[in-house]
Amino acid sequence: MKERIYYTKPSITEKEVRYATDAARNGWGKQCYEYINQFEELFKQHLGVKYAIATSSCTGALHMGLAALDIGPGDEVVLADTNWIATVAPVLHLGAKPVFVDILPDTWCLDHILVEEAITPRTKAIIAVHIYGNLCEMDELMAIGEKHGLPVIEDAAEAIGSIYHGKRAGSMGKFGAFSFHGTKTVTTGEGGMFVTQSDELYEKVLSLSNHGRVREQVKQFWPDMIGFKYKMSNVQAAIGCAQMERIDDLIAAKRRVFGYYAEGFKGMPVTMNQEPEGTQNGFWMPSIIVDEGVQFDREALLASFKENNIDGRVFFWPLSMLPMFERKPMNKVSYDLYQRAINLPSYHDLTESEMDRVIDLLVKNFNQG
């Protein structure tokens, strides 16, 4: 059996090990926030934002940000139907109602025209998810938000390295949320980041993130509101600092992998992640969509991958197909694409010979079909 090709894994060097070891040995007492503060600063600098708060997950960052915007029961939040559950879970935790709209067939992101059609007097926010590194049409979404007085929130969990007309993903909306899960381009094992340009929103989320204790409060152990506990540890942040010092190389590695796949799939009946003019895609997860009308059995292909010791992932199911939601088959693109799509192995140091194994298997699959 050939060596296993994982669908993704982090890039960890001696630098990450050294920083994490230092945090484990010395990052306590007065030093317990040193790596966290440094990680937040490095991330702010990379993104070009005013504020950043390290969190235990992207979900936690979204939860606190939405709570700080006073979203709650009776409110509606518009987001794309094709997404991971982590984007919608905080909406439900706050008692609000998610409104699922369809996606664009090329970028697989939120259809901005349908967003405006979905807005009602109860709509309180729009969540734009940059799926698999692809970018939402932020100019259009921001214009819609401004027109209707609605905040546009960026779930950039999968979009480190993606740039929209000179602005990094996550830096454009009312706030942005990032993930540093072990599968992501930048990792801390588990973890996330809340970012914003807003002084007021930052202060509110900062208080919420510390069990509701505001910075000005002089009483010890005196919370001023009910808050959350979504903090990142100093050891995790130490790994994040090392990753941020290598950020350009990590992004370049992801783009190298995508480029090799794209070249290998030329002439095949598939499309991949898009990179429209004026943008850069971080290509977190290279994916293929098989052309309409082409015979394709997703489960058979994934089974073939498994037989050949290669990992593959399904494209996200429409959220409205899940048992806890009402089905919305009128979202035709969302309900069609997942059946014709898979995610490919994409870790940073994937070799050309390993990618050739993936490409050859797909070629064989289509030749058999």
Would you state the pLDDT for residue 1? Answer: 75
pLDDT, averaged across the chain: 96
pTM of full prediction above 0.85: yes
Query: In this model, does residue 326 exceed pLDDT 70?
Result: yes
Q: In what order do the strands lie in the sheet with 287-290?
A: 270-272, 287-290, 341-343, 313-314
Would you state the pLDDT for residue 51? Answer: 98
Pull the structure tokens for residue 162: 């993606």
Would you state the pLDDT for residue 360? Answer: 94
d(CA 357, CA 348): 16
How does 302-313 read in b/e, with b if 16+ C-beta sit within 10 Å? bebbeebebbbb
Encode pLDDT of 280-323 as tens digits. 999 999 999 999 999 889 999 999 999 999 999 999 999 999 99
Question: Please, what are the domains in the chain?
Answer: 14-101+108-245 (3.40.640.10), 247-368 (3.90.1150.10)
Mean pLDDT for 348-356 is: 97
Contact between 135 and 103 under an 8 Å Cβ cutoff? The reply is no
Encode pLDDT of 203-214 as tens digits. 999 999 999 999
Mean pLDDT for 13-26 is: 98
Of 3-7, 121-125, 133-137, least confident by mean pLDDT is 3-7
Give the distance between the most distant pair of CA atoms in the chain. 71
Would you state the pLDDT for residue 2? Answer: 87
Query: In this model, does residue 368 exceed pLDDT 90?
Result: no
Query: In this model, does residue 92 exceed pLDDT 60?
Result: yes
Would you state the pLDDT for residue 43? Answer: 98
